[in-house]
Structure 1
Amino acid sequence: MSAVSLLGSLVTAELPAPSVENPVADFSDTPLWLSLLKALFVFAYLLIQTLLVIWFERRVIGRMQQRPGPNRFGPLGLFQTLADGVKLALKEDITPKNADKLIYLIAPAFFASMAFVSFSIIPLGPAVWMFNHYTPLQLTDLPVAVLLVLAVAGVGAYGVVLAGWSSGSTYPLLGGLRSSAQIISYEIAMGLSLVAVFIFAGSMSTSQIVAAQHNRWFILPCIVSFVIYVITMVGETNRLPFDLAEGEGELTAGFMTEYSSMKFAMFFLGEYINMFTVSALATTVFLGGWQAPPGIAAINSGMFNHGWWPLLWFTLKMWLFLFFFVWLRGSLPRTRYDQFMHFGWKFLIPVTIVWVVAVAFIQAATEGWLGTNTVTVAARTYNTSLLIVIGVLALLVLTATWIWDGKQARKAEAASPAVPDTIDPFAGGYPVPPLPGQRLSEPAAPATSEVVHG
């Protein structure tokens, strides 16, 4: 038995289970010119939504902070993002004297282009008729399509590192190192969180993962994976409360400090495209992709799951995650960097590993009891219920452990030597500013020698 069929054994007989013969979407009726046209469509789809989400973010945060947000340029301020783009294009383009000119110019374009590449394997809908050709509403697909997203995200970290190093300045270098460490660290937990989805779907192809969610979305049996993925996607995109690469009080704008004009706009665009990419991947692997919600999907024998309707459901699901990004930015303060890395390495990764092992054991036990080809609806329901219970317990254990660790840290801090109330700023020979809550003591008067004049 092949590995693909073994991993896909949990899919029931009535589901369109992935097959070894056709592990990806069928692009046999898609000529090259149509693929180029679809690439242009994806580019325009992302670019228009980027313009909208920047306006949307300002309006939502404005309401949360009791201020109007953009409301002057265009109806409801809709053209404000366009004005900002023109402003960036007309700003003076400054290149630092100590910068490595070639790498300094390549880094922003590299970062933005990698963000667009990741979206190429996302299925926006089923196969549709376009110019007398029956083609999937997807640019391309691979047997390991989800791994492509993770790989491209890892390559995109090079753009951050190169931008920080090539600027020839201290703050960008520190910001680039911070951001690359953050991206690499949280990619590990993100990749592990998707393993449970691969086990259930029996494939790493995005089109086959969507097909495997025909009767149930994977958010139910993979609830722990979903929660971990949502946390890691915020850290992966450097968004609040995890935008630690650009703390204004520490690193100013981080690796983007020395960039201006359109080069800065490229980083800005790449950040928002990355938000769309991780949101689209979450929609694909956890929320059924382009498939309509269960109640709507049952109307008129599933008419809303055919044609161009699925593009609407996919976009709406993706915007739910975008609203979550905006809500976090308007609600939570920035975390401390050491706490953020501690949370990723000591909590998210161990919990994800334990969760994947539990899913694998339940899958193997089900196959051993019922056989790989006789997984019934009752068995599927039992597995889903069991995994939901395990997932809730795992989240409770994670929360309790995090609270206990915080209490231990506070106890250790309370047991540490008390900070003196007063300090001598010149005690060590150099002026030292006081810590919060300290007062300056009067420095000792310098010794003077008597001078006797004859």
Structure 2
Amino acid sequence: MWSFSKIADLVHQSLNHTFSPTLATIIEMVIVGVCVIGLFAVLGLVLVIMERKVSAWIQIRLGPNRVGPKGMFQSLADTVKLLVKEGMTPSGADKFLFNLAPYIALIVAMLLMAPLAFAKDFQMWDLNIGVLYVSAISSVSVISILMAGWSSNNKYSLMGAMRSGAQIVSYELSAGFSVLSVVVLAGSLNLNTIIQSQADGWWIFKGHIPVMISFVIFIIAVTAETNRAPFDLAEAESELTAGFHTEYSGMKFALFFLAEYVNVFIVCAIGATLFLGGWMPFHIGHWDGFNHVMDYIPSSIWFFGKTFFLIFLIMWFRWTFPRLRIDQLLNLEWKYLLPISLFNILLVTAMAILGWYF
């Protein structure tokens, strides 16, 4: 199976040979930081054009087709437009919090990248409590939204922020229980261990119907947590102008915009890691010949392929279902998803104790 460990070891040895261990470690951290920033920029460009092309495909139209071949440079043109736009700050706003909010949104997204395994032996931080870390850090994102809504001194922004707070706090419960079902079966909070536990089959198949239910609930919950339609009550254009980022323009708006798409990538990457084996190829039990052929496909292709499949699924939701009202959104969580999740986690626990999985 393809592995990036040799490249990482080569860079590590070269730096240690040239610099002191402390300086080499600092340089490695800087290199990782630059790579993450570069990945953010590429993801922003790719996911925006993907969103537009997917929406065009679903609505049977062409989508962007003027800027570049097949309109591929449209998102680059939009980025240039946002860069040259003047950033405005309302006169009655709390300027410090208003300017800080988009940076917190982006910093949270960057922190969530740390434990993700993008390929075999290619991970920034192999953390023993990776799942707990992701759950804890992702909860901080609501602070940036509340901060942006309150500091804008705009009633629409504040209403959007309060909606978002209620929405994220509510759906975190169902998302947490869905993640917990895989943790119970794998017996570890370490993302690498969870991936390794799927060497003979992904949990969505090995875990039978309870894990499939967890997967469906996870996709619904993370769609709500990332403020994506049909759960985009925090930025409902027909009601709240643009919601919590109504007063933002220029680069500050671009940071919120980028953070939203990167968060979609992150939650789909986590879903792919927990339920679809992450970078692990598709293996079937003791079918050694078939499994050996699957190993020839690079692990990074498996990871990004699964992740972008889930992103496509979430984009499909956006252009299929109408936006819910806030009462319908909260009813869906507290009256349906949460009770189902609680019952489902009992089933998964019983299944893990009795060994009723492949």
TM over 0.5: yes
- Tell me which residue corresponds to 2:71: 77
Aligned pairs (5 A) from 1:18-97: 32=25, 33-97=27-91
- Equivalent in 296, 302, 315 of residue 313 of structure 1: 302
User: Which moves more between the two structures, 61-70 or 146-155?
Assistant: 61-70
- Tell me which residue corresponds to 1:217: 202
- Residue 356, structure 1, aligned to residue 345, structure 2: yes
CA distance in 1, matches of 2:40, 2:186: 27
- Tell me which residue corresponds to 1:113: 107
For 2:203, the aligned partner's letter is: F
1:34 shift after superposition? 3.5
Residues 199 and 360 in structure 1, CA contact (< 8 A), matched pair in contact too = yes
Residues 282 and 291 in structure 2, CA contact (< 8 A), matched pair in contact too = no
- Equivalent in 334, 347, 351 of residue 323 of structure 2: 334
1:304 shift after superposition? 5.4
User: Identical aligned pairs, as a percentage?
Assistant: 39
- Tell me which residue corresponds to 2:292: 302
- Tell me which residue corresponds to 1:277: 266
1:252 shift after superposition? 1.2
- Tell me which residue corresponds to 2:162: 177
Over residues 343-382 of structure 1, what are the superposed CA-to-partner deviations in whole Å (9 max), with x where a residue is unaligned?
Answer: 101111111111111221232234xxxxxxxxxxxxxxxx
Over residues 66-117 of structure 1, what are the superposed CA-to-partner deviations in whole Å (9 max), with x where a residue is unaligned?
Answer: 3211111111111110100111111121110100000000001111111121
- Give unpaired runs (5+ residues) of structure 1: 1-24, 128-136, 367-382, 386-454
CA distance in 2, matches of 1:298, 1:182: 46
- Tell me which residue corresponds to 1:99: 93
Q: How many equivalent residue pairs?
A: 332
CA distance in 2, matches of 1:52, 1:313: 18
- Equivalent in 241, 245, 249 of residue 234 of structure 2: 245
Secondary structure, counterpart of 1:124 in structure 2 = strand
RMSD: 2.1
Residues 110 and 159 in structure 1, CA contact (< 8 A), matched pair in contact too = yes
1:53 shift after superposition? 1.5
- Tell me which residue corresponds to 1:384: 357
Residues 283 and 294 in structure 2, CA contact (< 8 A), matched pair in contact too = no
Over residues 107-151 of structure 1, what are the superposed CA-to-partner deviations in whole Å (9 max), with x where a residue is unaligned?
Answer: 011111111211211101112xxxxxxxxx000021111111111
CA distance in 2, matches of 1:272, 1:142: 25
Distance of aligned partners of 1:65 and 1:303 in 2 relative to their CA distance in 1, 3 Å threshold: closer
- Give unpaired runs (5+ residues) of structure 2: 13-23
TM-score, scaled relative to structure 2: 0.88
Secondary structure, counterpart of 1:249 in structure 2 = helix
1:42 shift after superposition? 3.6
TM-score, scaled relative to structure 1: 0.70
Secondary structure, counterpart of 2:120 in structure 1 = strand
For 1:204, the aligned partner's letter is: L
Residues 283 and 290 in structure 2, CA contact (< 8 A), matched pair in contact too = no
CA distance in 2, matches of 1:41, 1:303: 31
CA distance in 1, matches of 2:291, 2:156: 59
Higher relative contact order (CA 8 A, sep 6+): 2
- Tell me which residue corresponds to 1:154: 139
1:299 shift after superposition? 5.6
Rg bigger for which structure?
1
CA distance in 1, matches of 2:342, 2:179: 11
- Equivalent in 176, 185, 207 of residue 200 of structure 1: 185
- Residue 189, structure 1, aligned to residue 191, structure 2: no
